[in-house]
Amino acid sequence: MFNSTLTKDEAFLCPVDGSIMITASHLPFNRNGFKFFTNAGGLGKNDIKDVLERAADIYNQFIAKSLANSERKASSSIKQVDYMNVYTSDLVKAVHKAAGSIEKPLGGFHIVVDAGNGPNAKVQCAFDSFSKLNI
């Protein structure tokens, strides 16, 4: 999610101003929830408190008609994109660059990834991208 604030690609609406990662399942209960990012990094407790207080103030100023109008506009502006391919491609490029641009910088290594109880399909997508890009 952090990388979506750094990537420059209009087709994927990037860079975004901020991103939110929803975490659950494999983390301890007190580490689950929402993680907020800007291009400066992750937001801390004070930052999140400020964002939520501002959002509450804005929400409390809505009247029913203006709230319905805002919800309609927001719903019509949502666009879904598949950012995983952009992310994995950028990750592969970064690994190649850091390794001095050798052809298969991770060749010969045995790499283990624990995806926890999360969405393993996305992890498989990343591995598929790596294998296609000869990392």
Per-residue pLDDT, 73: 86
Tokens of 59: 């929400």
Contact call for residues 13 and 79 (beta carbons, < 8 A): yes
CA distances to 7, 14, 91 from 3, rounded to whole Å, are 6, 9, 10
Phi, psi for residue 48 in degrees, rounded to 5:
-65, -40
pLDDT of res. 54: 94
Which residue is it, tokens 């790499």?
A: 111
Position 50 pLDDT exceeds 90:
yes
Q: What is the pLDDT of residue 21?
A: 85
Q: Which of 37, 40, 27 is nearest to 1 (CA)?
A: 37
Residue 122, pLDDT score: 60
Does the structure show a pLDDT above 80 at 22?
yes
User: For 51-70, what is each residue's pLDDT tens digit?
Assistant: 999 999 988 888 888 888 88
Over residues 107-135, the pLDDT tens digits come to: 888 777 665 555 555 666 666 666 655 66
CA 123, distance to chain mean position in Å, is: 14
